[in-house]
Amino acid sequence: MAARTVLILGGTRDAREVAGLLVQKGVDVVTSLAGVTAAPEHPAGRLRLGGFGGAGGLAAYLAAAQVALVIDATHPFAAQIARNAHEACRAAGVPLLRLERPAWQPAEGDRWIAAASAEEAAGILPEGARVLLTIGRKEVAPFFARAGLSGIARMIEEPPVAVPPGWSLVRARPPFSLQQEIDLLSAQAISHLVSKNAGGRLGREKIAAAKALQLPVVMIARPARPDVPLSGSVEALVEAVARLLSP
């Protein structure tokens, strides 16, 4: 593949895999991270950190860095950067591809309760529920605000709000094995798991653990994202990139 600059909007394991494969093929890759995680895992290629300053800032960056193609490989719940990428690429005339694994689907034996948002999920939980909250750091406030809930909030960095009595913070970075997840749910007497529907092969262990223990899972649906060409796997995305970059 030609050595033209590809910008990967990252922050996911998939984004790191894409960066590794494209660098192997001789592509000049810059991965962009929001800069939220203190010690992020470094992908292959170049790295830039921090927000761009909205869609306008991103469009200016695309021009200045002579970016030939943008890959949005951010998490399915990172809706703002996805909107910004769509708007900036349209304004700058730069093609945009998105990597998005299919959402998880409930199977026989799963006890899922659908929620449209974190706020709705917090409201759905029954009084007295003991929760394993695995939704990251940004949206924990509605759970912490409900006096009748307690449990474990697991995330990589500190949350932006104080952790109330009854809740414990577990600072940990995935992956977690099925056995680790079963042990945590059992040891903490968890009654409900709360998860975002991230999709993909990683992160499903907690769902499988809840199923094994017959626990209900409050599953938060993905937010709406802009309509851009999607690849459902790292391999499919790398093929799409090769087609776009070939002379």
Exposure b/e, 137-160, CB count within 10 A at least 16 = b: bebbeebbeeeebbbbbbbeeebe
**Of 54, 95, 142, 223, which one interacts with ligand NAP (CB under 6 A)?**
54
Residue placing its CB nearer to ligand NAP in the complex, 75 or 86: 75
Could you tell me how many residues of this chain bind ligand NAP (CB under 6 A)? 25
Give the number of residues written for the chain.
Answer: 247
Q: With CB under 6 A as the contact rule, which of the stretches 8-16, 96-104, 123-131, 234-242 interacts with ligand NAP?
A: 8-16
As measured in angstroms, the least distance from the Cβ of 81 to ligand NAP is: 4
Exposure b/e, 118-134, CB count within 10 A at least 16 = b: beebbebbeeebbbbbb
Cα–Cα dist 98/86, whole Å: 10
- Any contact of residue 80 with ligand NAP (CB under 6 A)? yes
- Any contact of residue 216 with ligand NAP (CB under 6 A)? no
Nearest to 139 by CA among 119, 114, 169: 119
Interhelix angle 178-187/205-212, nearest 10 degrees = 50
Nearest to 193 by CA among 139, 121, 128, 144: 121
**Of 13, 16, 18, 77, which one interacts with ligand NAP (CB under 6 A)?**
77
As measured in angstroms, the least distance from the Cβ of 44 to ligand NAP is: 16
228 near 72, Cβ under 8 Å? yes
Residue whose CB is nearest to ligand NAP in the complex, by number:
51
- Any contact of residue 10 with ligand NAP (CB under 6 A)? yes
Residue placing its CB nearer to ligand NAP in the complex, 10 or 191: 10
- Any contact of residue 53 with ligand NAP (CB under 6 A)? yes
Q: With CB under 6 A as the contact rule, which of the stretches 19-27, 73-81, 89-97, 234-242 interacts with ligand NAP?
A: 73-81
Element containing residue 141 per DSSP (H, E): helix 141-144
- Any contact of residue 51 with ligand NAP (CB under 6 A)? yes
Residue placing its CB nearer to ligand NAP in the complex, 53 or 232: 53
Cα–Cα dist 163/21, whole Å: 40
**Of 19, 67, 70, 84, which one interacts with ligand NAP (CB under 6 A)?**
84
- Any contact of residue 203 with ligand NAP (CB under 6 A)? no
Q: Which residues contact 194 (CB under 8 A, 6 or more apart)?
A: 121, 125, 131, 132, 133, 134, 135, 143, 217, 218, 220
As measured in angstroms, the least distance from the Cβ of 214 to ligand NAP is: 27
Cα–Cα dist 131/218, whole Å: 10
- Any contact of residue 61 with ligand NAP (CB under 6 A)? no
Residues that bind ligand NAP (CB under 6 A): 9-12, 32-34, 36, 51-54, 57-58, 74-75, 77-81, 84, 136, 138, 196
